[in-house]
Amino acid sequence: MLTLPQIENLFAAHGTNYYGDEAISQTAHALQCALLAEQAGEPEPLIVAALLHDVGHLMLAESSTTDMRHQEAAASALAELFDDAVTEPVRLHVAAKRYLCARDQGYHDTLSPASVHSLVLQGGPFDATQADAFAEQPHALAAVRLRRYDDLAKVVDLPTPPLSHYMEMAARCARI
């Protein structure tokens, strides 16, 4: 289980790491993703999910594991702190990319080279049956919206509110 101070410590310790092969830090990517959700008028739990969707990468930076299922690691670690409105979009954001590749003809063409590469590692686009099953999940549509913010949140030097702004939202969404 993660606590809010531990989340802040993860960003402090590993947030300056680059976001995959993108020319942006993990923290900048997370803040941009949260900003896009906030600007779209999303409810606070989805804004918090947007902020924390890749916290699994920060957690994995502290371990020697080779399991790169960052979405599962994050959702599991956040499950005691937040309810499903935060954790399920986090858990489903990788599947949402696979879903969008299957259902939105132009979506694949909008992915960055790093996202195209990770798509292959994540299993590629869903087939029709997998896409239907994904869409039936309770938080699938929220995960798809998060995914779209995720894809856009890669702008170098984009001004955003500070981490503390979103951590205040996280505190309001936390169960404890």
CATH topology of domain 4-173: Hypothetical protein af1432 (1.10.3210)
Instruction: Give the closest residue to 176 by CA, choosing from 103, 45, 111, 80.
Output: 80
Chain segment 37-46, per-residue pLDDT in tens: 999 999 999 9
SS3 of residue 160 by DSSP: coil
pTM of the complete model beyond 0.95: no
Instruction: Give the closest residue to 168 by CA, choosing from 83, 55, 48.
Output: 48
CA–CA separation, 29 and 21 (whole Å): 12
Residue tagged 């509110």 (tokens): 161
Chain segment 58-101, per-residue pLDDT in tens: 888 766 554 457 788 889 999 999 999 999 999 999 999 999 99
What sections of 79-162 are H helices per DSSP? Answer: 84-103, 107-110, 113-121, 128-135, 140-152
CB atoms within 10 A of CB 73: 21
CA–CA separation, 24 and 35 (whole Å): 15
Domain ranges of the chain: 4-173
